[in-house]
A and B are shown apart, each in its own frame.
Chain A
C-alpha cells in the first residue's frame, strides 16, 4: 500500500469520527443553551463547547461574541473552520475519492451520499427545529460509514489504518471533553452540587452517548464515577481504555500483516497498560487536568509515530 493511501485512509476515518463528535458536542451545547440559566450564562457553555472542539480561537477571531446561531453555523457549515462538520465531510470525501480503489463500493457510497446531501443544505434555511434532526442525521451517517467499513472491508492494512484513525480521534475527543469540563468533576466541587452540576454531568455523558448506559453501570452521578467511566471503563466504547484496546489491536494486527513489530505498537501498549493499571483516586490526587493534558499529548505523539513508521508523507529525494 502507498504511504499516501495509508495517510488518506487514516485521516478519512479520523474526519468522519470528528464530524460525528462535532454533532454530539453541538447537540449537547444546544440543549444546555435552551435551559433556563442563572449566573454565568450561555457564554460559558459555548466557550467550553468550542474549546472541546478545539476551535475556540478560530471562532473568536471570526465572530468575537458567543451567540448560539453563530456557534452552530461555525461548527456545522463554516468552510473556514477545518473541524466544522462540513469541512470534516469534505476532507473525508476528498480522501475517499483519492483512494477510491481502497474502499468498497458501500463505503464510498455512504460517504459520497452524505456529502452530496450535506452540501445541498442551505444553512440559511436551518430553523432551530431542524437542528436536532440534523445532528441525528450526522451521527447516523457516521454510523453507516463505520458499519460499511466493519461489514465490507478486508481485514488487511486498509482496515487497520481506518481503525487507527477512528480510535485516535475518538480518544482525543473523549479526553478533550473531559478536560474542558474537568472542573465540574473535581471532588471539591461536590459540595456546591445542586441542579447545574448534575445537568453538566449528564451533558458530559450525553456528548459521548453514554448517559443511559451509565445508569446501568453505576447508580447516581458522582464525579469520580463519571471520570472512571469515560477514562478507565473497559466496557464503555468511547472510554480512553476502550479506544486503546482497539488501537493496540489494530497495531498488533498491522504488525502481523507486515510481519514486523514497531515503535507505535510499543507506545500504544505502554499507554494501554497504564490505563489498565490506573485507579481514579490516584488520578484525581495527582490532578485530572494534568492527567488528561498528558494523555492528549501522548495520543498526538502516537499519531505522529504511526505516520512516520508507515511513511505517510515520506519525502524521498531523487538521486
Chain B
C-alpha cells in the first residue's frame, strides 16, 4: 500500500528526537527488549486478574479478552495539549448548542446551513425529544472526540462520539499499570495526572440533576449487563464514583418517578448515566422488545423529574453525515472558526461527491454513515480488488449511507511488537465532560494499530492502547 510517509511523534521529520520524547527515548535506549516484553506480560496478567477485559461480539469461545496494552507511552507537550484542549472545548460547546437548536427552533436549518432532511430524516434524530428541556440545556455530557495527527502541527477530528463513548477506564487503568511498573519514568517526567476523571464525571452528573431537588441527587450507572463489551468500564466507573451499578430490571417507574429496587424498598433516582443505546431505553417509546430498559422512563425524563446522560437523541451529533457540516456548525454557534479541523469528507448522498468517490475508491477510506467500531469500512489502499468492487455495488445501491475521506497518513509512535520496537499508527480519544461547566482531563485514550501499516485502531479490529502523557511546563 502506498501512503505518504507518516509523521513519527518521537523522531519527527527532521531526524532528531522531538522534545517531549527526549527522556523516554533515552530510557528506551537502555532497555532490553526481552525485559520490556516481560513487563508487558506482567501488565497483562495484572489486567486479567483484575478483570479488565472486553467481550468480542461474535466470539463465543473466548468471550472475555484483553485489549493489548503497549508499555511505551504516547507523549504530548503542554503547548500541543493547550491547543487541542481549546479546540475540544469549543467543539463540545458547539455540539451541545447544535443539539439544543435541533430539538427546539432549528435556526441552523432556517439559516440554510444544514439541510432539513439531513436532520429530520436522520435515524438518530428523535422527534420525541422536540421541545424537551434537559437540565442546563446539555444533551451530550460525555463526549469522546477522536483526533488524528498528520504532522507536527496538524490535528484533525475524525469523529465526535456523543452517544455512549467508551474507553475511559483504559485511560485510567493504563496509567495505573504504568505507574506501578515504571515509577522511575514518572519521577523523571512531569506527567499531568488523569485520575480525577471519576470525580469530574461525578461532579458533572450531579450538576445536571433535575432542578428544585431539595436533597443530594441520587445518581446511578445503567448497564446492559455483564455480557456487554464495555461491562468492565461500567462497573469500574460506578465503583470509582461510589454509585450503584444498575440494570433495567433494578429500575421501575412508580408515581411518576424513577425508582430503584433496594434491600429497603424503593429509592428514587434523579440522574441516570446510561450505557445503553437510545433504542433500548424504554420499550414503551422505542424498541418494544427491549428488556434492557425501563418501561416509562422516557415519560419521567420528559416531565423533568429525571436526567438521562447522555440525553436521548444525542446521537444526532455523531452521525457521519452531520460530521461533514461540523465546520459550519462550530462557526454558527460559537461565532469563531473551528480550532480543530475536520477531515475533508465526501458525502456520497451528493451525486458529484459520489461520482468522485467511485472513481477514487482505491485511494480513499469509505465509512458507513451510521457505522462505528471500525466495522463495515473500506481502507482503499489496503483493500483487495474484490473488496473495492463489493463496496462499489453497496454504495451505488444506497449512496446516502456512505461517506469517504482521504486516506490520511496517521502519525506513528514507537510501539513494542514481536519484532522489537517499531513505529505504529495511532489516534487519540480525549473525554470531555459537559455539565455546569466543561471539564477535560489532560490526554485521553491513545489507540494504536498493532499490525504493520494498519490504520484501523479499533480494539475490535486488533488495536491496542497506550498510556497517554501530557507533559507539564
Contact = CB atoms under 8 A, between A and B. Distances in A.
A98 B263 CA distance: 17
B377 to A, nearest CB: 32
Given A3-B250, A4-B249, A97-B226, A311 B262 contact: yes
Given A112-B49, A318-B252, A98 B226 contact: yes
A100 B51 contact: yes
Interface string A304-319: 0000001100101111
B254 interface: yes
Contact of B264 (A105, A113, A258, A317): A258
Task: Using C-beta atoms within 8 Å of the partner chain, give the interface range for chain B.
Answer: 20 to 34
B295 A318 contact: yes
Given A311-B261, A311-B262, A314-B261, A4 B247 contact: yes
Contacts of B246: 2
A109 interface: yes
A108 interface: yes
B315 to A, nearest CB: 25
Contact of A4 (B51, B232, B255, B261): B261
A3 B262 contact: yes
A286 interface: no
A311 B259 CA distance: 14
Interface in B244-301: 244-247, 249-250, 252-255, 259-266, 294-296
A6 B255 CA distance: 25
A50 to B, nearest CB: 31
A127 B103 CA distance: 68
Contacts of A109: 49-50
B49 A3 contact: no
Given A94-B226, A316-B254, A318-B252, A116 B48 contact: yes
Question: Which of B49, B246, B260, B261 is the most central at the interface, judged by chain A CB atoms within 10 Å of its CB?
Answer: B261
Nearest to A310: B263
Nearest to B263: A310
Nearest to A317: B252
Nearest to B242: A101
A45 interface: no
Nearest to B225: A98
Interface string A255-289: 00010100000000000000000000000000000
A258 B263 contact: yes
Q: Is the interface of A mostly helix, strand, loop or mixed?
A: helix
Interface string B336-356: 000000000000000000000
Contacts of B262: 1-3, 311
Interface in B363-408: none
A82 to B, nearest CB: 19
Interface string A124-158: 00000000000000000000000000000000010
A316 B295 contact: no
B226 A316 contact: no
Nearest to A6: B263
Contacts of A113: 49
A311 B264 CA distance: 8
Nearest to B245: A101
A200 to B, nearest CB: 42
A112 B259 CA distance: 32
B235 A100 contact: yes
B147 interface: no
A186 B246 CA distance: 52
Interface in B19-69: 48-51
B244 A2 contact: yes
A2 B51 contact: no
A112 B51 contact: yes
A107 to B, nearest CB: 12
Contacts of B264: 258, 260, 310
A102 B246 CA distance: 12
B261 A316 contact: yes
Contacts of A5: 244, 263
B48 to A, nearest CB: 7
B51 A319 contact: no
Nearest to A111: B51
A3 B261 contact: yes
A108 B250 contact: no
B50 A2 contact: no
A98 B249 CA distance: 13
A317 B259 CA distance: 12
Nearest to A116: B48
A157 B262 CA distance: 11
B238 interface: yes
Interface in A1-45: 1-6
Nearest to A109: B49
A318 B294 CA distance: 9
A116 B64 CA distance: 12
B196 interface: no
B195 interface: no
Contacts of B225: 98
B252 A2 contact: no
A2 B261 contact: yes
Nearest to A260: B264
Given A4-B261, A94-B226, A319 B253 contact: yes
Contacts of B50: 105, 108-109, 112
B263 A1 contact: yes
A20 B64 CA distance: 26
A166 B238 CA distance: 26
A159 to B, nearest CB: 13
Contact of B235 (A2, A101, A258, A311): A101
Contacts of A317: 252
B239 interface: yes
B94 to A, nearest CB: 35
Contact of A316 (B48, B238, B252, B263): B252
Contacts of A105: 50
Of A98, A105, A157, the most chain B CB neighbours within 10 A belong to A98
A2 B231 CA distance: 18
B462 to A, nearest CB: 23
A90 to B, nearest CB: 12
A116 B47 CA distance: 13
A319 B284 CA distance: 12
B250 A2 contact: yes
Given A4-B247, A100-B239, A101-B235, A311 B253 contact: no
A35 B280 CA distance: 61
Contacts of B259: 316
Given A5-B263, A101-B239, A108-B51, 14 more contacts: A1-B244, A4-B247, A5-B244, A97-B51, A97-B226, A97-B235, A100-B236, A100-B245, A101-B244, A109-B49, A316-B259, A317-B252, A319-B254, A319-B255
10 contacts: A2-B261, A94-B226, A97-B231, A109-B49, A157-B263, A310-B263, A310-B264, A311-B261, A314-B261, A318-B254
Closest 3 CB pairs between A and B?
A101-B239, A310-B263, A100-B235
Interface of A: 1-6, 94, 97-98, 100-101, 105, 108-109, 112-113, 116, 157, 258, 260, 310-311, 314, 316-319
